[in-house]
Chains A and B, each alone.
Chain A
């Protein structure tokens, strides 16, 4: 029995090779997706085009995608992040090729027609889908499949945002909800590969062109804190509105599902009639705001309209993400706060563009609830270290407010509306807060090595266990299992089954319960000894499966 389960070397090599392949293919597909939507949008909205196009095209686009989503690609609806998490946690990493193609097609039409949604979430879903399809083609089992899907997500995000480190963090922080996930190595490989592909095809162009900023006066920290507060409130308003609209549209008959997106298309089209900047992802305008070229009234109006437009587009069931709109909303909120601050205190504040940049991070942290990703992402976009501290202040305040006023993060809340309970980073954190030391039993003694096999077998049956530690109260020899006893009936005493230096599954008192569960699962036992970190043979107690399940609030039938 190995205490730290590991995969065979050739399986690891295949996973690494596949990570590289996934990085290359996902990078190429996402670049194609970005370029294609961009070119299509340019054709839909030529320079100097008539205003009626801004109403007709989103409506028509939404009608087409609504039909396609309803008839052929039901799993391609929405952002793609919750769907990716479904795939990992519920479908063992399975995403069909049809869903990938549907997502690509529907999002291309939807985004090119000017829906106020983003391209990053769909890219993540497409990337995850490609990783899933490729892994199956290479004959990987479901466990390995689940490991490759986050690799695809990371590769997609690295190419879509041009932020390779933030992409890795996002996969760990949001998709897997575990910053110590064992897939770290492979996601880094895929992220770097995909990013290189992006650079080879498109060159070294950052997503946003940000002029260098500097902190003018320490007073600015206070203003950035206010920005975090407003950004947090704006994020909560956006999330609640989006969820309410989505919930309301889900009350309509299923037969109307195909036409529901058209309502979003018409709504955003009417907004676009008056303010064309609301249409599409709007990164051009974000760029303009970051360079400080905007009017205060305009950015306030755009922040409000974009919240409404994106919530409506998403809520009515269109295909597209909320990453891009989050950044847009944040930039407008930041631009507004910065503009007011700079007007009132010109000597003590940086240009409004700096606030727009920090606002992007604050809104992202508040809406998507990934504060670390948000900080690193903005840092990668600007490549400017001086913005980090204000960014962290605003992000953390926004994140805290969002957490307080909107308990469920947006993707989990959307999943809940679908009736699916996804594990979240936050919930995993809560669980990981319970340690083995808190639930282990110190009373029970290990079986003596002199105990006969028959006696041990009887005791196991009486205790309702399939395994138990062997040794004495000061030194462990190992763990004996019911199966070992069954297979070695000729043995007389336990010392014949368990050598003094035998390998055995164990946990330490400071381990989270999830580790105890994983190790019990890997070894196929329902009890593991708790041992010292300095001496694996020194027993502290025993933790059983029933204890762990009790701690999680799950009562196992027949458990003591």
Chain B
């Protein structure tokens, strides 16, 4: 009986000790958690401020402290990775991102940062892949807007790499999903970059219908019409955009364009001669001794008694050869040559 009582008393004492210690541990653990969270948040805010002030190296230190204190908060890890990328510490950023993606492979932010890292390193295919993972990944806040933003960023990246088809593939869903004005304007612009002027013009027309007073949309429409070869429509749009120089260019294009169907043969030949003169002058400025220049001079010296479409085509062919030679022998085109560039581009396209 006494032994049983002693055992019970000892057991109760052990349980009481465990209970007491458990309470102390929980209290200390909560205190630590609270204090470290506060300190980490403070460091995180400092880091965010430094990032806004374009001091990524200093921001890295602050984010690193925050992350060391509270590894449970993924914001700290993501911002640290972002700051590391901004500070040029890509190897460490890569390690950091691998760690995050290993635990959360569908994290939108992490995939976006990884995409930026890949883009920075010139790995287009990998970057595109991570951008897509980011677009279809998990976003905890305002997912729709973030996805549109990421796709827009991908579109800009593809535009910068000259990947027209891929760019077009991103712009089509963007046109449907994007509802904010700056993104829609950017989409309309990028259609032009993606060599889809008809879609660009259509997008600008929608924007103009919604806000007829926005001159930038008219300017965009003018560019799209120029690219389409609708010079009269471009001239009109540029006038609405209050862009007299561009309107003048469009007017010049109208007078230079040899492609309209209703042109008489004489008018077509006259325009072809004008284009040939401009092309010859352009090449002669940097390669006067080129045989094509002489050939063009000879052709220009010939009198055209009976204008025909064949004669016009002969001159336009030579003009295109001159322009091609100019492209290899001279530097980039000047603004004076833009009308010639556009018309020859239309002819070759």
Q: What is the interface of chain A, defined by CB distance below 8 A to chain B?
A: 21, 24-25, 28-29, 31-32, 35-36, 38-39, 42, 47, 134, 137-138, 201-202, 205, 209, 211-212, 284, 287-288, 291-293, 351
Contact = CB atoms under 8 A, between A and B. Distances in A.
Given A21-B14, A35-B32, A137-B10, A291 B24 contact: no
Contacts of B26: 201
B39 to A, nearest CB: 7
B34 to A, nearest CB: 11
Contacts of B92: 291-293
Interface stretch (B15-23, B119-127, B326-334): B15-23
B28 A36 contact: yes
Nearest to A283: B68
Given A205-B71, A212-B98, A351 B28 contact: no
Given A21-B14, A202-B29, 14 more contacts: A25-B18, A28-B25, A29-B21, A31-B25, A35-B29, A39-B35, A47-B39, A201-B22, A201-B25, A211-B96, A212-B99, A212-B102, A292-B91, A292-B95
Contacts of B39: 47
A47 B38 CA distance: 12
Nearest to B23: A28
B18 to A, nearest CB: 6
Nearest to A209: B71
Contact of A35 (B17, B28, B99): B28
Which secondary structure dominates chain B's binding surface?
helix
A137 B92 CA distance: 54
Interface string B82-116: 00000000011001101100100000000000000
B47 to A, nearest CB: 14
Nearest to A198: B25
A392 to B, nearest CB: 24
Interface of B: 10, 14, 17-18, 21-22, 24-26, 28-29, 31-32, 35, 39, 64, 68, 71, 91-92, 95-96, 98-99, 102
B98 A25 contact: no
B5 to A, nearest CB: 14
A28 B102 CA distance: 32
Contacts of B10: 137-138
A39 B31 CA distance: 8
A28 to B, nearest CB: 4
23 contacts: A21-B14, A21-B18, A24-B18, A25-B14, A28-B21, A28-B25, A29-B21, A32-B21, A32-B28, A35-B25, A35-B28, A38-B32, A39-B28, A47-B39, A202-B29, A209-B71, A211-B95, A211-B96, A212-B99, A284-B68, A288-B64, A292-B92, A293-B64
Contacts, number: 64
B139 to A, nearest CB: 26
A287 B64 CA distance: 11
Contacts of B22: 28, 201
Nearest to A291: B92
Nearest 9 pairs between A and B by C-beta? A28-B21, A35-B28, A211-B95, A201-B25, A31-B25, A201-B29, A32-B25, A28-B25, A32-B24
Contact of A25 (B17, B31, B32, B91): B17
Contacts of B18: 21, 24-25, 28
A14 to B, nearest CB: 11
Contacts of A24: 18
Contacts of A351: 91, 95
A119 B26 CA distance: 20
B48 to A, nearest CB: 17
Contacts of A291: 92, 95
A184 B169 CA distance: 65
A292 B89 CA distance: 11
Contacts of A201: 22, 25-26, 29
Which of B21, B39, B68 is the most central at the interface, judged by chain A CB atoms within 10 Å of its CB?
B21
Contact of A42 (B21, B35, B91): B35
A28 B14 CA distance: 13
Contacts of B14: 21, 25, 134
A88 B186 CA distance: 78
Contacts of B32: 35, 38-39
A100 to B, nearest CB: 13
Nearest to A138: B10
A287 B68 contact: yes
A39 B35 CA distance: 9
A292 to B, nearest CB: 6
A134 B17 CA distance: 11
